[in-house]
Structure 1
C-alpha cells in the first residue's frame, strides 16, 4: 500500500484466500484492506496516538440516514456527553478531494451536528470547524487535541 501523509503506524494484517485484511482496533475485527480502508486505519491511529482521543469515543463505519437514504460515515468521534465532536470522511489516496467531498460531509453533518469536520485522502487533510450560526465551516490548520 502507498505511503500516506501520516506518521508510520504498525498494523496487524492477515491473508486469506488471496485477500489481505487489516485489524481495525475500533471494530475489533479484520477488514479487507482496500485503499480507502488503508486511509481510514491511518486516520484512526492518528486520532488515538497523536490527538489522544480515547478509543471508547471513536466509532467507525456506521449507518446514518440522510434525506431518506442510507449512508455510512467513515469515522465519528463523540464527546463524553454523547454529542458528536468530529466527523471524518476518508477517501482512497487516488481520489482527489473536491467540492463534492465537502458537500458529502456537510450533508452528513446536517444529521450528526459535529463541531469539527475532517476530510482526507491520506495525502491531503482538510480540517474545518462548524459555525452553525452563519451556516458555514471555517478551515483550520489542524483539529484540536482531545481534552475533557
Structure 2
C-alpha cells in the first residue's frame, strides 16, 4: 500500500483467500484492505494516538439517512454528552479531494451537526470548524486534541 502523510502506525493484518485484511480496533474485526480502508485506519490511529480521542467515542462506517437516502459516514467522533464533535470523510489516496468531497461532508453535517470536519485522502488533510451562525466552515491548520 501507498505510504501516507500520517505518522507510522503498526497494524494487524491477515491474508485469507489472497485478500489482505486489516484489523479495525473500533469495529473489532478484520476488514478487507482497500485503498480507502488504508486511509481510514491511519486516520483512526491518528485520532487515538496523536489527538487522544478515546476509542469509546469513535464510530466507524455507520449508516445515516439524508433526505430519505441511505449514506455511510467514514468516521464520527462523539462528545461525552452524545453530540457529534467531528466527522471525517476518507477517500482513497488515489482520489483527488475537490469541492464535491466538501459538498459531501457538508451534506452529512446537515444531519449530524458536528463541530469539526476533516477530509483526507491520506496525502492531503483538510480541517474545518463549523460556523453554525453563518452556515459555513472555516479552515484550520489541524483539529483540536481531545480535552
Q: TM-score, normalised by structure 1?
A: 0.99
Q: How far is 1:67 from its partner?
A: 1.1
Once the two structures are superposed, the pairs formed by residues 22-101 of structure 1 within 5 Å of their partners are 22-101=22-101
Which residue number in structure 2 is paired with residue 18 of structure 1? 18
Deviations 1:100-142 (A, max 9, x none): 0000000000000000000000000000000000000000000
How far is the alpha carbon of 1:11 from its aligned partner?
A: 0.1
* 1:112-123 map, 5 Å: 112-123=112-123
Unaligned runs of 5+ in 1: none
Q: Distance in 1 between matches of 2:71 and 2:4?
A: 26
Alpha-carbon deviations, 1:4-44, whole Å to 9, x = none? 00000000000000100000000000000000000000000
| Residue equivalent to 2:102 | 102
Q: Which residue of 2 aligns with 1:131?
A: 131
Aligned residue pair count: 147
RMSD of aligned alpha carbons: 0.2
State the Cα distance separating 1:94 from its structure 2 match.
0.8
TM-score by length of 2: 1.00
Cα distance between partner residues in 1 of 2:139 and 2:133: 16
Task: Give the unaligned 5+ runs of structure 2.
Answer: none
Runs of 4+ in 1 over 2 A off after TM superposition: none
Could you say what secondary structure the match of 2:4 adopts?
coil
User: Could you tell me which residue of structure 1 aligns to residue 142 of structure 2?
Assistant: 142
